[in-house]
Structure 1
């Protein structure tokens, strides 16, 4: 019974692992561009904060944080770790 389950779960594990691999590549590729956007928006946010409006400057700095490697890419990495955990749980059954 356990052998049959392992044989049936191999395609599911393969799809999850390939999906994880593609997502890791996308996160790595997009992190470079998001880092550039974050830097530009961060500098613009500081200038707006100092010269124009505190509220608009803080909004731009928040957007810069979301585009930084600690924002949206980190959320994606945590979700991807959850998918990898599911894959390893299926493998251990």
Structure 2
């Protein structure tokens, strides 16, 4: 019974493994790009604080935080890690 289940789940685990590797690669590239954009937004926020536009600077800092490694990339990393755990659980059957 277990062998039949493993044979049936093999295509799914193969697709999930490939999908996880692709997402990990894209996550690395996306995080790198978002770090650059976040840095540019912080520079713009500092410039807006210097010119006296405090509300725009605060909004820019919030957006920069969301684009930093502690914002959206961290959420995406947790999702990819969870997908990897699901794949590992399916492989262990």
Return the TM-score normalized by structure 2: 0.92
Q: Which residue of 2 aligns with 1:84?
A: 84
Q: Which residue of 2 aligns with 1:21?
A: 21
Q: Which residue of 2 aligns with 1:65?
A: 65
| Structural RMSD (CA) | 1.1
CA apart distance, 1:26: 0.5
**Residues of 1 paired with 2:65 and 2:59: CA distance?**
10
CA apart distance, 1:61: 0.4
Higher relative contact order (CA 8 A, sep 6+): 2
**Residues of 2 paired with 1:87 and 1:36: CA distance?**
32
Return the TM-score normalized by structure 1: 0.92
Q: Which residue of 2 aligns with 1:55?
A: 55
CA apart distance, 1:9: 0.6
- Number of corresponding residues: 93
**Residues of 2 paired with 1:52 and 1:19: CA distance?**
47
For structure 2, the residue ranges without an aligned partner over 5 or more in a row are none
